[in-house]
Each structure stands twice: as C-alpha cells, then as structure tokens.
Amino acid sequence: MFSEYDVIVAGAGHAGCEAAAAAANMGSKVLLITMNMQTIAQMSCNPAMGGIAKGQIVREIDALGGYSGIVSDASTIQFRMLNRSKGPAMWSPRTQNDLMLFSAKWREMLENTPNVDFYQDMVTGLIIKDHKVHGVKTSLGHQIYAKAVVITSGTFLNGVIHIGEKRMGGGRVAEKAATGITEQLIENGFESARLKTGTPPRVDGRSLNYAVMEEQKGDAEIVGFSYMDTPKIKAADQRSCFISYTNPTVHDILKTGFDRSPMFQGRIEGRGPRYCPSIEDKINRFADRDRHQIFVEPQGWNTVEIYVNGFSTSLPEDVQVKALKMIPGFENCKIFRPGYAIEYDYFPPTQLKYNLETKELANLFFAGQINGTTGYEEAACQGLMAGMNAHLKVNGQEPFVLQRSEAYIGVLIDDLISKGTDEPYRMFTSRAEYRTLLRQDNADIRLTERSYNLGFAKEERLKKVHQKIANVEQIKNILNTTVVEPADINPYLEQLDSATISDRQKAGKLILRPSVDLKGLKQHLPKLNESLDFDADSLEQAEIQVKYERYIEKEKELVDKMSQLENLIIPDNFNYDKLSAISTEALQKFKKIKPHTLGQASRISGVNPSDVQILMVYMGR
C-alpha cells in the first residue's frame, strides 16, 4: 500500500507542518501522518503568533523559506510591533489570528507543496534495526518504511487532561492520546519525563461587556512577518483585543477550589511553564498582588468565541465559572468550554545532536514539545530545522546547524542540547547574548542566502534580499554624503528639544541622535526626501545600521572572539576519563551530553571555566 518515503513526519502540529514542508521543498518524498486531518496546524492554545523573541523566530523561519510567516500574515486579524519604545533589538512582531483560517491556510499550502503525502492514522511505534530507524508502525497495522523519521508529538504522548478532580486521557480536548512510542524508546535506552501545560476557558463574546474594559487596538502600520510580498490586512480592518483585571473577590473564589486542584493536590507530576503560570499558581505565588491582567482575545473574523488569555486553569469547572463572572465585563459570561491542564511525555533534549537527530537511534529526529519546549514558534522552528536536516541526512550531506550568533533558532537549539530543560522552555530576548545582531528586521539578510545554498529558499527570496542589501548601501551612502544646512534642519531639532547646529553636517551624523529619525529628516529636508525613494523595509534597515553601527560592530567583535571556541571540535570518540583534574560533575556532564565543540562544553550547566581549560589542554595533546 505504501512505497518507501525519504522522510516520515509523525504529527501535524506547528513542528510537523514545518518539518514536512521543509523536507519536501528541498526535494524529499514526504509522508505526513496525523491522527486527525481536520486539525492540521491547529492553534491549540492562544490564537496568536509571535511576540517577545517569538516574533524574531517567525521571521527567521520565513527567511529560511518556512511557511509560518506567510500563514500568519494570511490569517491576521490584528498586528502589533511590540517594544517599539525600545531599541530595534527588542522590537518583536505579533499577530492575533483567525485560528480556523490559520489552520485552513496551512493545510492549503501543504496540499500545494509537491512531494507531500498525507495519511490519517496514529503512529504507535518505530521500525528499528541495528540502532537505526527505518520507518513507523501505525494503529491500523501498517509498517511504513522511510530513510528518516521526524517525531513531532506535541502534548499527545501518553497525554492526560485534568479539570479539577476529573482526569481523562487525551492529547487535546476531545482528542485521544498517542501511545506506544514512549515505551519503545525507553526500551531502546532513552530517558523520558513528564511536563505540564494548560489552557484557559473559552467564552461567548456576545455575553461580555466590552464597555468596561480597556480597548487594545492594532498598529496603524502593518509590517507583518513574511519578507515576501504577501497580502497584508488593512489597518482600519483590524479587530481589537481588550484588557480586564482580576480582583480580590476573584482570587477568593478561586481559592475555594484549591482543595480540588490537581496541581495543589499532587495529581499532576509534570512541571508547568514558569513564564505562563495558571491563574491559581499566580494568586498562590504572588499573594501580595490584588489583581492580574486578563487579555480578551477574539478567535477569528466569523466567530464569537473568545480566548481568555491570563486565566489558564485546571480548577473545577464550577469554580472557574464563578470566578470568571467576578471579572469586570464578564458578569454575564457564557462559557464554551472550561480551562484544563494537560500532562504529557517528553524526552530531555540533551539526548539530541545539534541537527535534532537522536544520539541513541540514527535517522530519528525530534521537534517541538517532545523536546521540552512550549509555544507554537519554538515548535515550528525546530520542525523546520529537523525537516531540513532529515533531508540532508537522507542525501548524505552535512547537517545544517545555526550558531548562537546567527539566529534565535540557534540559541534555542543550543540551550536545549547543552543545558537541557526540566520545565517547558520558552524563548526570550534575554536568552540571546547577541540580540543586537539577531534583530527581527535583518533575519533575511542573515539567513536566506544560507538556506538558498542548501536548496531550500527559492531564488525569488534571494533576489529580494540582494535588492534590499543594495538599497541599504545606497541609502547609507546618500546619508553619509548629503550635507545639511543649519537653517534647514534647526527648526526640526528645536521641535525635538535637540541641540541645534551652527555648521553644516552630514545627514548620517544627525541620525545618530537618539531623538532624530529618518522619517523626520525626510519630512523637513525636501532634497533628502527626493533622493531617498526606497521601500520602507530598506529605509528602516539602513537607519538601524547607521544609528547603531558602533553597537553592532562591538557585538561582532565579541562574536569573533567567542567563535574560536565554537570552531574547536571535540572528537566523537574523545575519552573524557583521562581528564583526571576536572570536577566530578563536569566529567558526568561531558560523558552524558558529549559536546560537539568547546563552545558548547563551556555552556553546559555545572561546568566551570577551569574544566574547559583542562579539556582544551588535553585536546591540544
């Protein structure tokens, strides 16, 4: 019934979809297996993409040739560029999305991707021989062979849903859990553990009183995620979100359910996400706070369903409803479905190589929540990298690995493999030590050509990047050669309370002032406005490069220094037992993780600089 595939992808969430698309677009014959064809790329939690650091990841996915940015732009109902008041290293795009349109667009794009086949079934095991994976086994009794397999199981591996004292198997509400894979992998030497995540109630928007809430509108300028010319929503058409707050009465009602809480009564084993706690966890941990923000987010254009962001909970349903009705604007709310927590299996990611292939079994790749991450964006970028590397492995090519200095994706994967995680991992800008270089505005300049050279990103993308780079150089040259007269610019500087000039200056020097921007200069200098007839993306990129040139150069120097450690490869067969002078903890970590480079070795938790120095000396011998 089935021919042999190059790559089989198990699971069609955000990781699985990107993995299938990446491998197929590089030329592999791909089979995407999902338990339900109607829930491909489903937004299981909040109907949004991007945000702090996550927006940078979506733009990197797009720059490499992935689909998440295009799908997000096509299903946007509101766009915001977060952190605009800060420096460009902190700017983060975020979209509110129509979750049904998001899923439908993903399926449409996959169905229009040559080399992708689909099959609805549950993967229950792997075909393993000689420490290599050769395919999958399914619940319908099929054995389907492939040269590589990517597992993107999300929250489905032995998933258990908790609502108060109710406990049921499931990978998502109304969907059964996946079984068989964990047990087989443990038999083959893998270590597994449990994690927990949660979701809030969904309510009927017609029953809410928005008049007493704070309205949160979208931006007047829609940038979007994709570097391609994808259709963007008109600013005037955006749907608003709203903000309300809990209060002491809400907290008191929630506390009445603590004796039936699966979290507080020990029925949940796995650790939940530190940076996205449940509402009961918030009022327990932050007892001194008398209110918490609630974000009221529409789930699409043509639905009244509302996502109550900030109210994730696994408390009994009756407690959830009573507490919700005490939130301003929710007095008459009708609930569509209660919030719940879900526990699932994951495999500590120190068991992976940098290409996301498992160390224990060749040709087996993991991506997404199976690696201990949380969030659509974190899952999608892992899926893309796993799909690319599965294709490269099948074709006998070198792995594609992004360094920490090259992409947020590189930071995420390095963190997972070097440090592991015992709680759901979420990306933040603070995790990236080179975030001045890894901005959302320059992901295409950083990554597209590398992807094109691997046969993934299309020529159309590369041409756009080359044109952007050429435009930026032209703009910078104009700024650095255009002379500005004091009489022409001083009125503008006075408006900004910035010191006026007495001598002629180059426009590029004026841009260095914190309060001066290129848009303002163009408005007040007709000569400059006429010569800078370029697209907004190129103008913004040039302005950032000019204004922050010193900071960018300093960070590049730091990267050059650190790259010396990254380029020192540790042989796979290195005998760590001869390192008699290092700490016992470092020895154990080195033998378990088997770092690929000295740079990775230096980032392993529990390893001291002296341990790395000793390792370097022995490698030199």
Within this chain, do residues 505 and 527 fall inside the same structural domain, yes or no? yes
87 SS3 class: coil
User: For the chain, what percent of residues have pLDDT higher than 90?
Assistant: 86
User: Residue 613 and residue 604: Cα distance in Å, rounded?
Assistant: 14
Res. 613: pLDDT tops 90: no
Q: Are residues 525 and 594 in the same domain?
A: no
Number of domains in the chain: 4
Contact 118, 35 (CB under 8 A): no
Query: Of 305, 321, 339, at which residue does a domain stop?
Result: 339
Task: Please enumerate in sequence order all residues whose Cβ is within 8 A of that of 83, keeping only pairs 6 or more positions apart, or say none.
Answer: 52, 90, 91, 92
Give a yes or no: residue 561 inside a domain: no
Domain-embedded: residue 148:
yes
Residues 59 and 177 both lie in one domain: yes
Where residue 371 sits, what CATH number does that domain have?
A: 3.50.50.60
Residues 82 and 212 placed together within one structural domain of the fold: no
608 has pLDDT over 90: no
Can you tell me the mean pLDDT for 215-224?
Answer: 97
49 and 60 fall within a common domain: yes
When mean pLDDT is compared over 15-29, 485-499, 524-538, the highest value belongs to 15-29
> What are 154-202's pLDDT values in tens digits?
999 999 999 999 999 999 988 999 999 999 999 999 999 999 999 999 9
Q: Which is more confidently placed, 617 or 504?
A: 504
User: pLDDT tens digits for 16-32?
Assistant: 999 999 999 999 999 99
User: What digits encode the pLDDT tens for the residues 368-416?
Assistant: 999 999 999 999 999 999 999 999 999 999 999 999 999 999 999 999 9
Are residues 145 and 53 part of one domain?
A: yes
617 pLDDT above the threshold of 90? no
**pLDDT band, very low/low/confident/very high, at 264 (cuts 50, 70, 90):** confident
Q: Given this model, what pLDDT does residue 278 score?
A: 94
Q: What is the mean pLDDT of residues 36-61?
A: 97
Distance CA 285, CA 267 (A): 19
**Average model confidence (pLDDT) across the chain:** 95
Domain CATH number, residue 615: 1.10.150.570
Cα–Cα distance, 438 to 452 (Å, whole number): 19
Instruction: Tell me, letter by letter, the H, E, C secondary structure of 127-151.
Output: EEECCEEEEEEECCCCEEEEEEEEE
Predicted pLDDT at 568? 86
When mean pLDDT is compared across 63-67, 353-357, 561-565, 568-572, the lowest value belongs to 561-565
Residue 562 falls inside a structural domain = no
Q: Is residue 558 part of a domain?
A: no
- Residues 517, 579, single domain; the answer is no
Domain CATH number, residue 525:
1.10.10.1800
User: pLDDT band at 241, cuts 50/70/90?
Assistant: very high
Q: Are residues 180 and 36 in the same domain?
A: yes
Asked if 171 and 246 sit in the same domain, the reply is: no
For residue 263, the domain's CATH number is 2.40.30.260
Of 146 and 598, the one with more pLDDT: 146
Q: Which of 553, 578, 594 is the last residue of a domain?
A: 553
Pairing of strands 340-346, 160-163: antiparallel
Does residue 563 sit within a domain? no
130 with 166, same domain: the answer is yes
- Angle at the Cα of 136 from the Cα atoms of 186 and 129, rounded to 5 degrees: 65
Q: Which contiguous run of DSSP H or E holds residue 584?
A: helix 584-593
Are 44 and 113 found together in one domain? Answer: yes
User: How do residues 269-292 score in pLDDT, each as one tens digit?
Assistant: 889 888 889 999 999 999 899 999
In a domain, 214, yes or no: yes
Among 79-88, 526-535, 546-555, 580-589, which is the least confidently predicted range?
Answer: 580-589
Q: Are residues 430 and 480 in the same domain?
A: no
Could you say which of 453, 471, 498 is where a domain stops?
453
- Residue type present at position 3: S
Instruction: Indicate the range of 296-310, 315-329, 546-560, 569-583 predicted with least confidence.
Output: 569-583
Structural domain boundaries enclosing 375: 5-200+344-453
Count of residues in the chain: 621
The pLDDT of residue 621 is 56
Q: Are strands 48-50 and 166-169 parallel, antiparallel or unpaired?
A: unpaired
Mean pLDDT (whole number) for 433-460 = 97
